[in-house]
Amino acid sequence: MTASVSSLVSEAGSVVRAVREAQESGVGGAVLVSGVLADHLARELGAGADPGVVRVGDVPGADAAVAVRIIAGDPSDEDRAFVVRAERVSVPVVLVQLWPQADWTRPFVLSPFVVECRAGEGFPLSEIASRIAEATEGSLRLAARVPTLRDAATTHATRTAVARAALLGLRGRSRSPLTLEQVRLAIRLRSLEARAVDGAAPELAATTAAVVAGGLVLRVVARRLRRVLPEPLANAVVAAGGTWALAETLRRAEARGRR
């Protein structure tokens, strides 16, 4: 009995720390846009964003969360120098290649985050947002200030959390690591709402409590599923499915709140 109580107290402490980490983590910098038609893309990306979060600039600094470089044709010496400067201050770069041709050099050697923009189609904002979410650590906090990144950041964070949850289940880890993963995801998804960023303690407590309670339900589901599936596979399926269901519930709640 004493050991069980001690375990619960320890898990509660871990959950509290996870909540604090999730609230404190994130990106506080800006989205820097440069290159051909930079003003145009900055206006589209910055629609509804906080003032100054999306801006045009040719020199990436440590205050930038991510840099978006627009290039036309083969990457120039200036484009390469831009990427080098960004790497020196640990700023990820998303490259947008305008009107790519068959004989052009693909810029993947400069950055793994590349978007091709076809002539006459305009900037593919959803694809650019997806690359920004992939490149930027803690993109949900950035998306809270840049609405055009919201859907991409939510999708990326959910996929990452589901994959981690499945791995935890497959490895047969205890309930605690999975609960912490889900708590972190829930708090970060809640950060998309301004009042959550400012810190609404009752709502955060309710969200955390719901995640913990849901974890207890998942344990029951996993035990039943083990009757028809190998234990590691059953644990992975339940962990991944439960994490996805949590994210989807929060996404729908957040969408209703925007109406």
* Tokens standing for residue 174: 């205890």
CA 75/CA 172 separation, integer angstroms: 47
Superfamily holding 30-136: P-loop containing nucleotide triphosphate hydrolases (3.40.50.300)
pLDDT of 256: 65
Provide the sign of the torsion angle of the four alpha carbons 244, 249, 250, 252, taken in this order. Answer: positive
∠ CA 95-101-102, rounded to 5°: 115
pLDDT of 31: 95
Does the reported pTM lie above 0.85? no
Residues (pLDDT < 50) of the chain are 1-13, 194-199
Domains of the chain by residue range = 2-25+150-258, 30-136
Nearest-CA neighbor of 100 among 108, 111, 88?
108
pLDDT of 250: 80
CA 41/CA 46 separation, integer angstroms: 8
Helix ranges (H only) for the chain are 2-24, 38-45, 77-88, 125-135, 139-143, 150-170, 175-190, 194-198, 201-225, 231-258
pLDDT of 4: 43
**169-178 tens-digit pLDDT:** 887 765 677 8
pLDDT of 49: 95
Give the distance from CA 70 to its chain's centroid.
23
